[in-house]
């Protein structure tokens, strides 16, 4: 490049540089000031912003006062396109607030003025919200809908608002009385821990009402007179979404109460103090659907109004700036029959160990009762329990054997004992001598001959067992259930003693009482039953039952439970046929007419078919056993389970008889 060219380029650069400097009219500085203002307002801290007309500290205090009523939310704020005129500029500030379930968007205008080489923001309340005047602040009012009901069959109200009383110490009413003494007396009266409640009362502020217990109004034995005798104690009437009784289907339905701090924190803004929310069961699973959405109103109002003034003149000096309408919750509709659910719970009321009764309607799959006894300690044993099903699983064995060419009249060998790979299997205690030897499959099934079924292991593969189980709806997804459940697990591979154990419902074979009822129901229906419980799983936006609601759920800490079972199949590999089901029904009827469930012969109405089961578990000698019985009675299939229950026929059998007789 020649010297002349270099000189020319240098001149061009100088001219261009000069023109750029000449064009810098201050717009860039104004834009920077606008961006800083937007960021500071979004952070609710304008202490670093230079203002005209006020100092930054006063502006900051005013901003916090204006926005305090919307806390703890913060706005997103962006500076828009600047309008520039020499030493002044205006900039739109685009605000976006998350208000409840809605988004409040608006644009306010800020003015900037150049002072020397610095851009100042002109202080006006209107830069925070449209037309906001001096002496006005923003406030929000929330209107919460009542929680929707949980309904049962025929839209019976299972959970609905019922009258309650909050019993506690009202600290302003204590007068000169000792708070600790009153708290201890009240705790003793209502049956709560005196030390913990006394501490709670002492820690609360002087204006607090500290609840000791919430009692159902209906049937309460502690009277207002008893409460009033304790200085500072009183009861406050209210309502809560409750089931008919404290225990009614509690493990399945869950509970609803005022949200605690942890629930509010985890909700991501969906819950606030005072909201009612669900814990456990359907109340938690369908919480958003049942809760509905709050109605919210944001308005500008005169600063410094007292609560009394706001109440007396609710719309005085108020301008509504934004509102979201309240949307009531949608009831959760279930198939539970309140009479049968209560009956099942009454039958289990005196059973010590964990227990369950599940009843369903084979024709529709509707779950009519899913009761977990008091020994389950609040766990949903009925639907989530994972237990070896014992000889009830011979229904599955028999289907596999029928598919291999046998009939109920085919002969099998029932020996007193049978040894497989060094492990000796025997029949249950009290097995009748007359049903040993060469007997029909029906007779072996009716008296539950373990050795006859284990002897069939060479002709019935583990894969055939798995297939027969899915044919009867076991270990198959239940897309219409709408609730967490364990639907059974039958491994497709097992050898030696494990395969032999599978033939009598042990080894790694696991069922829940729900899955056992499905198995029996599929025999009655003549095709696989797919259980249904929640009828409107998609009624609330985003509140449908979680995908794979039929997948296994960890079932507590009992050593007899497993949380490692494989996921259920999508569908039955080879659905049971009407002819196959008829043969199984014939054998289940024989359990009542000639086997060891003869006590069911007197149940009125249609003939009962059944199968008992006793499943050993643990390492004790003799081992502990789970007691099972499944039955079909017209369009009703029932499973009864008692953990550590002895023999199925003698423990679960009488419970089943009581249930079927009263079910009608």
- Which residues share a beta bridge with 136? 302
Q: 176 Cβ partners below 8 Å, 6+ apart?
A: none
pLDDT (0 to 100) of residue 492: 79
Weakest-pLDDT range from 56-65, 428-437, 566-575, 615-624:
615-624
pLDDT digits (tens, 9 = 90+) for 614-642: 877 777 777 788 899 999 999 999 999 99
**Mean per-residue pLDDT, 89-111:** 94
DSSP labels, 399-439:
HHHHHTT--TTSEEEE-SEEEETTEEEEPPTT--GGG-EEE
Residue 436 has pLDDT above 80, yes or no: yes
Q: Which 3 state secondary structure label does DSSP give 493?
A: coil
pLDDT (0 to 100) of residue 12: 43
Q: 7 pLDDT band (50/70/90 cuts)?
A: very low
Give the span between the Cα atoms of 463 and 594, in whole angstroms.
Answer: 31
Cβ burial, residue 332 (10 Å; 0-12/13-18/19+): buried
Domains of the chain: 3-134 (3.10.450), 150-330 (3.90.1310), 338-537+551-663 (3.40.710.10)
Q: 556 pLDDT band (50/70/90 cuts)?
A: very low
Weakest-pLDDT range from 223-232, 380-389, 434-443:
434-443
Q: 381 Cβ partners below 8 Å, 6+ apart?
A: 251, 354, 355, 356, 372, 373, 512, 513, 641, 643
Percent of the chain with pLDDT over 90: 67
**Mean per-residue pLDDT, 562-579:** 80
Q: The pTM is what?
A: 0.81
pLDDT (0 to 100) of residue 312: 64
pLDDT (0 to 100) of residue 561: 39
Nearest to 200, CA basis, from 227, 176, 182, 217: 182
Weakest-pLDDT range from 205-209, 419-423, 548-552:
548-552
Q: 554 pLDDT band (50/70/90 cuts)?
A: very low
Q: 311 pLDDT band (50/70/90 cuts)?
A: low
**Mean per-residue pLDDT, 146-151:** 95
**Mean per-residue pLDDT, 295-322:** 80
Instruction: Provide the strand spans (E) within 318-361.
Output: 319-324, 332-333, 355-361
C-beta separation of 629 from 572 below 8 A: no
Q: Which 3 state secondary structure label does DSSP give 536?
A: coil
**Mean per-residue pLDDT, 52-71:** 94
pLDDT digits (tens, 9 = 90+) for 442-467: 999 999 888 888 888 888 888 999 99
> 311 or 324: which carries more pLDDT confidence?
324
């Amino acid at each position: 490049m020649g010297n002349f060219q270099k000189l020319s380029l240098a001149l061009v650069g100088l001219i261009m540089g000069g023109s750029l400097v000449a064009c810098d009219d201050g717009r860039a500085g104004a834009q920077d000031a606008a961006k800083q203002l937007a960021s500071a307002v979004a952070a609710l801290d304008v202490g670093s912003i230079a203002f005209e007309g006020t100092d930054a500290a006063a502006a900051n205090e005013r901003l916090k006062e204006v926005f305090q009523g919307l806390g703890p939310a913060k706005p997103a704020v962006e500076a828009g396109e600047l309008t520039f005129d020499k030493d002044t500029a205006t900039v739109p500030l685009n605000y976006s607030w998350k208000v409840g379930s809605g988004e409040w968007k608006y644009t306010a205008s800020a003015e900037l003025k150049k002072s020397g080489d610095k851009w100042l923001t002109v202080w006006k309340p209107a830069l925070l919200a449209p037309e906001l005047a001096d002496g006005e602040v923003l406030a929000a009012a929330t209107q919460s809908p009542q929680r929707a009901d949980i309904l049962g069959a025929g839209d019976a109200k299972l959970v609905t608002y019922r009258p309650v009383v909050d019993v506690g110490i009202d600290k302003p009413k204590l007068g000169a009385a000792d708070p600790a003494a009153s708290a201890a007396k009240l705790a003793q009266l209502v049956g709560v821990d005196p030390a913990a409640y006394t501490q709670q009362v002492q820690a609360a502020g002087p204006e607090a009402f500290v609840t000791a217990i919430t009692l159902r109004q209906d049937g309460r034995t502690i009277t207002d007179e008893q409460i009033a005798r304790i200085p500072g104690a009183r009861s406050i009437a209210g309502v809560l979404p409750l089931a008919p009784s404290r225990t009614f289907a509690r493990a399945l339905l869950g509970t609803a109460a005022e949200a605690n701090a942890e629930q509010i924190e985890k909700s991501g803004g969906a819950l606030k103090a005072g909201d009612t929310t669900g814990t456990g069961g359907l109340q938690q699973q369908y919480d958003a659907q049942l809760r509905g959405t709050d109605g919210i109103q944001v308005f500008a109002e005169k600063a410094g109004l007292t609560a009394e003034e706001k109440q007396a003149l609710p719309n005085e000096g108020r301008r509504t700036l934004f509102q979201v309408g309240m949307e009531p919750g949608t009831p959760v509709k279930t198939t539970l029959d309140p009479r049968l659910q209560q009956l099942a719970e009454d039958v289990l009321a005196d059973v010590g160990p964990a227990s369950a009764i599940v009843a369903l309607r084979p024709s529709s799959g509707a779950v009519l009762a899913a009761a977990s006894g008091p020994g389950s300690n609040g766990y949903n044993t009925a639907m989530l329990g994972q237990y070896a099903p014992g000889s009830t699983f011979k229904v599955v064995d028999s289907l596999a054997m029928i598919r291999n060419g046998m009939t109920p009249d085919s002969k099998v060998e029932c020996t007193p004992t049978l040894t497989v790979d060094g492990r000796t299997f025997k029949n249950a205690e009290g097995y009748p001598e007359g049903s040993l030897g060469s007997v029909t499959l029906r007779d072996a099934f009716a008296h539950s001959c373990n050795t006859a079924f284990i002897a069939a292991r060479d002709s019935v593969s583990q894969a055939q067992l798995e297939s027969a189980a899915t044919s009867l709806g076991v270990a198959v997804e239940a897309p219409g259930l709408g609730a967490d459940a364990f639907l059974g697990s039958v491994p497709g591979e097992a050898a030696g003693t494990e395969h032999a154990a599978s033939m009598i419902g042990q080894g790694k074979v696991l069922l829940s009482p729900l899955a056992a009822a499905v198995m029996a129901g599929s025999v009655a229906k003549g095709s696989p039953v797919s259980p249904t419980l929640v009828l409107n799983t998609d009624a609330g936006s985003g509140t449908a039952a979680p995908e794979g609601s039929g997948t296994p759920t960890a079932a507590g800490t009992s050593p007899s439970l497993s949380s490692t079972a494989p996921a259920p199949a999508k569908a039955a590999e080879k659905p049971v046929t009407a002819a196959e089901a008829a043969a199984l029904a014939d054998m289940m009827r024989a359990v009542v007419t000639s086997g060891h469930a003869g006590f069911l012969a007197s149940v009125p109405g249609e003939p009962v078919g059944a199968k008992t089961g006793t499943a050993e578990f643990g390492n004790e000698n003799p081992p502990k056993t789970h007691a099972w019985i499944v039955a079909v009675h017209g369009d009703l299939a029932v499973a009864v389970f008692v953990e550590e229950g002895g023999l199925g026929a003698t423990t679960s059998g009488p419970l089943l008889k009581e249930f079927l007789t009263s079910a009608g």
